[in-house]
Chains A and B, each alone.
Chain A
Amino acid sequence: MIDTLRLTAEEAKRLLETREISGAELFAAYRAAIDDRDGELHCYLHVCDDPGGDGLPIAVKDVIGTKGIPTTAGSKILEGYVPVYDSTVVEQLKAHGLRILGKTNTDEFAMGSSTENSAFGPSHNPWDPSRVPGGSGGGSAAAVSSGLAPWALGSDTGGSIKQPSALCGNVGLRPTYGTVSRYGIVAFASSLDQVGPVARTVRDCAFLYSIIAGRDECDTTTVELPHPVELPEAGDLRGLRVGVPKELNEAEGIEPGVAAAVQAAIAKLEELGAEVGECSLPRSVEYGMACYYLIAPAEASSNLARYDGVRYGYRADTAERLEMYKRTRDEGFGDEPKRRIMVGTYALSAGYYDAYYGQAQKVRTVIKREHDALFEQFDALVSPTSPTVAFPLGARTADPIAMYLSDLLTIPSCMAGLPGLSVPCGLSEGLPVGLQLVGAQFAENTLFRIGHALEQTIAFDPVPERLR
């Protein structure tokens, strides 16, 4: 009997290699778990039949293009769209024998922090189904946490891998900008979007990252990794300097239980031999949200111009062309993409460009410089990933700005193109708390080393209590 709730990808790989189980048995076990639990959780928008082969199963966020498998990005405007080519990351998964279990739920066009913006209904948090799994990649995070996939791919623009990983008790990596190909991914904000892994352990997360990282000829923003991915081994953290940015740890809205779990984890880092020191990101946190909510919508308004009802996706039934564009887009897009298209179009329009978009790009320079300066002194920065634990469904849907604040702590490092790892560090109110580790560009191995050491020391049980 395969216990998908407990099985790590690493252990599953070993069982396959020693032929204790077959690839078909493994795939069938996850499919059975999906049949059993996904009715309640709604992690998947589409479930696949076993494509054959003998590798590990994997779930893929629905913004990632998959040949022959519907890809909707959680939007009605792409309902029924079936890509005729694979994204590069999916080609890489297939080259490693990995088999796609299905496409996971997401806020529409990855715009949101709860999956409640999905046109196909929200996912639910496996720890408490009356709460959100986070977003936008809530489907991937909830699937991994509830044993409906051993690991998954997500995508992250301002926190869409790290925040749901934190809320569901998973390990999630937003890689350094440019290390993973975005060819074949539904674009949201191109100077920010990154694909990355979601897993149950840091070693699984690192292994999946090693599969997808590297330069891709089809994506000219990608670069070769300066050094290979190292799977972290048990060990202490002597010689590492960890900074605790005051503003990320004392921000208004951080729940006491979240702060306490993170403080306890920081004490463990010291016990493990790391040198811990306080530091400051004065303007990154204060101005990060405003900067992000100009740059991301501006880029989104441009990227989402392609949904015009001509070549693919939904088309409204009209007699005249301009009306066809306008009604297709009004009927096809949900509220959040429309809000962001409107904000972005306004911020880029004549007379407002310099005050909004141009100024935000300068703030971005300030944020990048503040982070660069800290990495002269520290190897990693630590803070909560999310100010709160998973919140109840519906709690923030009426107030877009309250929803935007879910990503207060993840956004600054995204603006600077830096890698961030979220690892579970304890519970608050019976729900998982995520610890965010941010590194210098290309410092993923350092983050894996710290995350792994912490994981071994804290011994967090990633299986939701109600499913044990």
Chain B
Amino acid sequence: MPIDREQLLHVAHLARLELREDEVERLEGQLNDILEAVSKVSELDLSDVPPTSHPLEVVNVWGDDEPQACLPVEEALANAPEREGDFFKVPPGGAT
């Protein structure tokens, strides 16, 4: 099923991407080509096949719940685009 412009903009919103108009036009065609190619997986009847989410047979790994040294505040903030005191600073949220 082809993806239309409205759906594409909805997906872009979910992915937090503000696409430019030229990107929307280009992506519409490319996304439909890609989705058509990957839709090939639906040719197979796999109703009785379990999914694989991880290639190794691993079991849960438990750790002791003990506090350990972590990054000092200065290092944690070292790459911050903007900071205020010991906090990451971001622009205010708009009306929702």
Is the pair B82, A400 in contact by a Cβ cutoff of 8 Å?
A: no
Is the pair A290, B39 in contact by a Cβ cutoff of 8 Å?
A: yes
Q: How far is the CA of A322 from the CA of B46 in the complex (A)?
A: 40
Q: State whether the Cβ of A294 lies closer than 8 Å to any Cβ in chain B.
A: yes
Q: State whether the Cβ of A76 lies closer than 8 Å to any Cβ in chain B.
A: no
Nearest CB on B from A57, distance (A): 27
Is the pair B31, A82 in contact by a Cβ cutoff of 8 Å?
A: no
Is the pair B35, A366 in contact by a Cβ cutoff of 8 Å?
A: no
Q: Which of A327, A361, A401 contacts B18 (CB 8 A)?
A: A327
Is the pair A301, B15 in contact by a Cβ cutoff of 8 Å?
A: yes
Q: State whether the Cβ of A356 lies closer than 8 Å to any Cβ in chain B.
A: yes
If A290-B40, A339-B31, A346-B31 touch, does A362 touch B49 (CB 8 Å cutoff)?
A: yes
Chain B's closest residue to A84 (CB) is: B75
For B52, list chain A residues within 8 Å (CB). Answer: 361-362, 364-365, 368
Chain A's closest residue to B96 (CB) is: A322
For A362, list chain B residues within 8 Å (CB). Answer: 44, 46, 49-52
Q: In the complex, which of the residues B38, B43, B44, B76 has the most CB atoms of chain A within 10 Å of its own CB atom?
A: B38
Q: How far is the CA of A360 from the CA of B43 in the complex (A)?
A: 11
If A329-B17, A338-B17 touch, does A312 touch B80 (CB 8 Å cutoff)?
A: yes
Is the pair B50, A356 in contact by a Cβ cutoff of 8 Å?
A: no
For B8, list chain A residues within 8 Å (CB). Answer: 342
Of A121-129, A142-150, A303-311, the one contacting chain B is A303-311
For A305, list chain B residues within 8 Å (CB). Answer: 16
If A82-B79, A84-B78 touch, does A363 touch B41 (CB 8 Å cutoff)?
A: yes
Is the pair B71, A85 in contact by a Cβ cutoff of 8 Å?
A: yes
Is the pair B19, A318 in contact by a Cβ cutoff of 8 Å?
A: no
For B18, list chain A residues within 8 Å (CB). Answer: 323, 326-327, 329-330
Q: How does the 8 Å CB contact mask read for A358-386 relative to B, with 1 for contact and 0 for none? A: 11111111101000000000000000000
Nearest CB on B from A324, distance (A): 5
Interface size on B, residues (CB 8 A): 54
Q: How far is the CA of A418 from the CA of B55 in the complex (A)?
A: 8
Chain B's closest residue to A347 (CB) is: B38
For B79, list chain A residues within 8 Å (CB). Answer: 80-82, 84, 311-313
Is the pair B46, A363 in contact by a Cβ cutoff of 8 Å?
A: yes
Q: How does the 8 Å CB contact mask read for B17-57 relative to A, with 1 for contact and 0 for none? A: 11110010001001101110111111110100111111110
Q: State whether the Cβ of A233 lies closer than 8 Å to any Cβ in chain B.
A: no
Q: State whether the Cβ of A345 lies closer than 8 Å to any Cβ in chain B.
A: yes
For A358, list chain B residues within 8 Å (CB). Answer: 51
For A311, list chain B residues within 8 Å (CB). Answer: 79-80, 88
Q: State whether the Cβ of A287 lies closer than 8 Å to any Cβ in chain B.
A: yes
Nearest CB on A from B59, distance (A): 10
Q: Which chain A residues in 114-133 approach chain B with CB under 8 Å?
A: none
Is the pair B46, A320 in contact by a Cβ cutoff of 8 Å?
A: no
For B82, list chain A residues within 8 Å (CB). Answer: 315
Q: How far is the CA of A327 from the CA of B13 in the complex (A)?
A: 11
For A364, list chain B residues within 8 Å (CB). Answer: 51-52
Nearest CB on A from B46, distance (A): 4
Q: In the complex, which of the residues B17, B55, B76, B80 has the most CB atoms of chain A within 10 Å of its own CB atom?
A: B55
Is the pair A346, B30 in contact by a Cβ cutoff of 8 Å?
A: no
Is the pair B71, A84 in contact by a Cβ cutoff of 8 Å?
A: yes
Q: How far is the CA of A318 from the CA of B38 in the complex (A)?
A: 37
Q: How far is the CA of A364 from the CA of B56 in the complex (A)?
A: 12
Is the pair B94, A321 in contact by a Cβ cutoff of 8 Å?
A: yes
For A345, list chain B residues within 8 Å (CB). Answer: 11, 14-15
For A432, list chain B residues within 8 Å (CB). Answer: none
Q: How far is the CA of A310 from the CA of B80 in the complex (A)?
A: 7
Q: Which of A342, A360, A415 contacts B12 (CB 8 A)?
A: A342
Q: How far is the CA of A368 from the CA of B12 in the complex (A)?
A: 33
Q: State whether the Cβ of B85 lies closer than 8 Å to any Cβ in chain A.
A: no
Is the pair A366, B46 in contact by a Cβ cutoff of 8 Å?
A: yes
Is the pair A322, B54 in contact by a Cβ cutoff of 8 Å?
A: no
Chain B's closest residue to A178 (CB) is: B56
Is the pair A346, B3 in contact by a Cβ cutoff of 8 Å?
A: yes
Q: How far is the CA of A324 from the CA of B94 in the complex (A)?
A: 11
Is the pair B55, A293 in contact by a Cβ cutoff of 8 Å?
A: no
Q: In the complex, which of the residues B12, B44, B52, B90 has the most CB atoms of chain A within 10 Å of its own CB atom?
A: B52
For A315, list chain B residues within 8 Å (CB). Answer: 81-82
Q: State whether the Cβ of B67 lies closer than 8 Å to any Cβ in chain A.
A: no
Q: List 30 A-B contacts (CB under 8 A).
A: A85-B71, A223-B58, A283-B44, A287-B44, A289-B37, A311-B80, A315-B81, A320-B94, A321-B90, A321-B93, A322-B93, A329-B17, A330-B20, A339-B30, A342-B11, A342-B15, A347-B38, A356-B38, A359-B41, A361-B51, A361-B53, A363-B46, A365-B46, A365-B49, A365-B52, A368-B55, A400-B30, A400-B33, A401-B33, A415-B55
Q: Which 8 A-B pairs have the closest CB atoms?
A: A417-B55, A361-B51, A312-B79, A326-B18, A315-B81, A290-B40, A362-B46, A220-B61
Interface residues of A (CB under 8 A from B): 80-82, 84-85, 177-178, 191, 217, 220-221, 223, 283, 286-287, 289-291, 293-294, 301, 305, 308-315, 318-327, 329-330, 333, 335, 338-339, 341-343, 345-347, 349, 355-356, 358-366, 368, 400-401, 404, 415-418, 441
